[in-house]
Amino acid sequence: MTIDCADPARVARFWITALGYVESDPPRGWDTWESWLVDMGVPEDEWDDGASLSDPDGVLPAISFLKVPEARTAKNRLHLDLQVSGGRDIPSDVRETAIRQKVAQLVEAGATVVHEVGQDGVLDHFWMADPEGNDFCVV
């Protein structure tokens, strides 16, 4: 999965906080990303054009961040849902506490709240944006 952005390192740092991921290791056979970039002949002025994160348990998909020149112009067609509440079988007050705690953590890390969504007077989720405006939800 790849997320387009203007500042891959900044957006990757945010998603490390959001997902609990870690920076991906360099490809097998290289000790550092810098040595891989040198060996691949990537010009030094392009070294900050991408970032990659991995699930520390190696189970969930890796996420890449790719520098692009254009800004986001419309709502994302694909977004991540951070499912932190435990599901609808959990009491609504417990779910709301978990959601609000994660939202507070992510706002501190640079996210913004787009909209708080409720159903029948009960908090369902928050629609949020990462530091560059990419949509995601905290459920």
pLDDT tens string 88-116: 889 999 999 999 999 999 999 999 999 99
Q: List the domains of the chain with CATH numbers.
A: 2-67 (3.30.720), 80-138 (no CATH)
Closest CA to 48 of 63, 56, 37, 61: 37
CB count within 10 Å of CB 135 equals 16
Confidence (pTM): 0.85
Paired residues of 63 in beta bridges = 53
Tens of pLDDT, residues 8-25: 999 999 999 999 999 999
Look over the chain and give the mean of its residue pLDDT values, rounded to a whole number.
93
Q: What is the pLDDT of residue 110?
A: 97
